[in-house]
């Protein structure tokens, strides 16, 4: 069934547009209490004001040629002057790590003691953004306009600098991620440290890191990230397993039949067959994870939208860099499911999404056609 915006609107359904999701907050979190956060701030318009990237993605880690940022004067000021101010002004906060990229900043902040009464993370970030903005304005201030030829009257009052409207350095708001467990912390640290590497990989391997916000595959529409050429492979096989064996009721991944089929599918993938699946059930995820770890070709469907600045976590990113992974996110997933369900059934269940995504996987296995609808 087509899932274009026009078709959804004709059916009285509101499609989910691709949106930048940088401003969500956890309503249950008290941001003035102790906590560990990764905070992301983006330059308004994504202009590379903080520096530029240099290096080679094939260089060894720790060498001078390994991907890194060369900071601009503004970037150096932020690193050397603005970031240290956070802990000076708020000794309850420790800066565990900072990653400055040309057009955004990641901060790993630990609030080790409750902040002063009435203060929370938002106040700290607002103050930091203000300091960075003032540094930018000071560095980009133009020369004073020369006095006019006619000498002004003695009583003339110069225009106050407060009346000058400065442009915004950062986008409004910020994105925070609450870090709850050690494994997540380790992943975040690696993610921040490898930011320059991933950015240069996207630049130096464009055919493996393609991003397409709207394309049609078969009769459905998707956003995509990764190795689009995998769609052209004629041999594709769906990985589809229910959570439980229909005959015995035990988890599918514990059955002997599953173990044999898993090995068969991985053996097929080693010959060049592309495995296609959302990897939702345990049986599906075990096959897809094994394939990704082995460097085999996978088309992975996900319900999470792929928007302009979205990128996968490190493991899937590295698979894309090897040319072994394409990630697809269907447009209007929930709306299409609801369009075929009885009225009044509410939000689609995970079970409905499980089956619908697997229906899409089956269609992808049977087509090699893809039409770009929007860059």
- Give the orientation angle of helix 195-204 with respect to helix 182-193, to 10 degrees: 50
Roughly how many angstroms between the first and final C-alpha of the chain, as a whole number? Answer: 23
pLDDT of residue 155: 54
Structure tokens at 112: 């080790």
Q: Does residue 175 share a domain with residue 65?
A: yes
Q: What is the pLDDT of residues 255-308, one digit of tens each?
A: 999 999 999 999 999 988 999 999 999 999 999 999 999 999 999 999 899 998
pLDDT of residue 30: 77
Tell which residue, 97, 120, 117, has the closest CA to residue 109.
97
Q: Does residue 229 share a domain with residue 133?
A: no
Q: Does residue 212 share a domain with residue 181?
A: no
Q: Does residue 228 share a domain with residue 118?
A: no
Among 156, 175, 199, residue at a domain's last position: 199
Q: Does residue 223 share a domain with residue 135?
A: no
Which CATH number characterizes residue 357's domain? Answer: 3.40.50
Q: Does residue 227 share a domain with residue 356?
A: yes
Among 199, 219, 247, residue at a domain's last position: 199
**Residue 117: inside a domain:** yes
Which CATH number characterizes residue 79's domain? Answer: 3.30.70.1290
pLDDT of residue 20: 36
**Residue 156: inside a domain:** no
Tell which residue, 291, 271, 269, 270, has the closest CA to residue 279.
291
pLDDT of residue 165: 77
**Residue 22: inside a domain:** no
Any residues with CB less than 8 A from the CB of 317 and at least 6 apart, and which?
Answer: 198, 201, 311
pLDDT of residue 16: 41
Q: Name the stretches of the chain with pLDDT < 70.
A: 1-29, 142-164, 334-348, 374-375
pLDDT of residue 375: 57
What whole-number distance in Å separates Cα of residue 68 and Cα of residue 229? 29
Q: Does residue 49 share a domain with residue 184?
A: yes
**Residue 5: inside a domain:** no
Tell which residue, 207, 204, 211, 174, has the closest CA to residue 305.
211
Q: Does residue 211 share a domain with residue 195?
A: no
**Residue 24: inside a domain:** no
Q: Does residue 95 share a domain with residue 53?
A: yes
pLDDT of residue 11: 44
Q: Does residue 289 share a domain with residue 213?
A: yes
**Residue 186: inside a domain:** yes
pLDDT of residue 293: 94
Q: Does residue 263 share a domain with residue 230?
A: yes
Domain count, the chain: 2
Q: Which domain holds residue 367?
A: 206-374
Per-residue buried b or exposed e for 226-253, using 16+ beta carbons within 10 Å of the residue's own CB? bbbebbeeeebbbbbbeebbeeeeebbb
**Residue 151: inside a domain:** no
**Residue 19: inside a domain:** no
- Cβ-contact 108, 98 below 8 angstroms: yes
Among 199, 224, 242, residue at a domain's last position: 199
- Cβ-contact 175, 40 below 8 angstroms: yes
Considering Cα of 40, then 172, then 75, then 96, what sign does the dihedral take? negative
Q: Does residue 171 share a domain with residue 265?
A: no
Helix (H) or strand (E) holding 238: strand 236-238
């Amino acid at each position: 069934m087509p899932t274009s915006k026009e078709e959804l609107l004709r059916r009285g359904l509101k499609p989910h547009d691709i949106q930048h999701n940088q401003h969500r907050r956890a309503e249950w979190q008290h941001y003035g209490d102790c906590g560990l956060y990764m905070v992301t701030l983006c330059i308004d318009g994504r202009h590379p004001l903080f520096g530029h990237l240099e290096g080679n993605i094939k260089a060894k880690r720790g060498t001078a040629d390994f991907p890194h940022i060369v900071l601009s004067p503004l970037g150096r000021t932020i690193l050397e002057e603005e970031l240290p101010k956070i802990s000076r002004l708020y000794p309850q906060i420790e800066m565990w790590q900072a990653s400055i990229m040309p057009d955004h900043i990641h901060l790993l902040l630990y609030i080790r003691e409750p902040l002063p009464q009435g203060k929370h993370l938002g106040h700290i970030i607002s103050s930091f953004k203000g300091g960075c903005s003032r540094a930018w304005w000071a560095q980009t201030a133009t020369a004073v306009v020369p006095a006019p030829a006619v000498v002004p009257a003695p009583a003339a009052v110069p225009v106050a600098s407060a009346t000058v409207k400065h442009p915004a350095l950062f986008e409004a708001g910020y994105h925070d991620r609450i870090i709850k467990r050690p494994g997540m912390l380790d992943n975040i640290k690696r993610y921040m440290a490898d930011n320059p590497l991933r950015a240069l990989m996207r630049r130096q391997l464009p055919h493996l890191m393609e991003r397409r916000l709207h394309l049609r595959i078969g009769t459905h529409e998707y956003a995509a990230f990764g190795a689009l050429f995998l769609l052209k492979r004629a041999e594709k096989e769906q990985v589809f397993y229910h959570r439980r064996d229909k005959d015995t009721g035990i988890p599918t991944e514990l059955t002997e039949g599953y173990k044999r089929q898993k090995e068969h599918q991985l053996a097929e993938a080693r010959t060049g067959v592309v495995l296609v699946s959302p990897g939702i059930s345990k049986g599906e995820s075990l096959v897809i994870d094994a394939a990704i770890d082995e460097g085999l070709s996978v088309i992975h469907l996900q319900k999470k939208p792929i928007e302009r600045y979205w990128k996968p976590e490190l493991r899937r990113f590295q698979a894309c860099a090897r040319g072994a992974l394409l990630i697809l996110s269907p447009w209007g997933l929930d709306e299409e499911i609801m369009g075929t369900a009885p009225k009044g059934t509410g939000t689609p269940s995970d079970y409905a999404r499980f089956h619908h995504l697997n229906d899409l996987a089956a269609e992808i296995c049977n087509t090699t056609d893809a039409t770009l609808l929007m860059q």
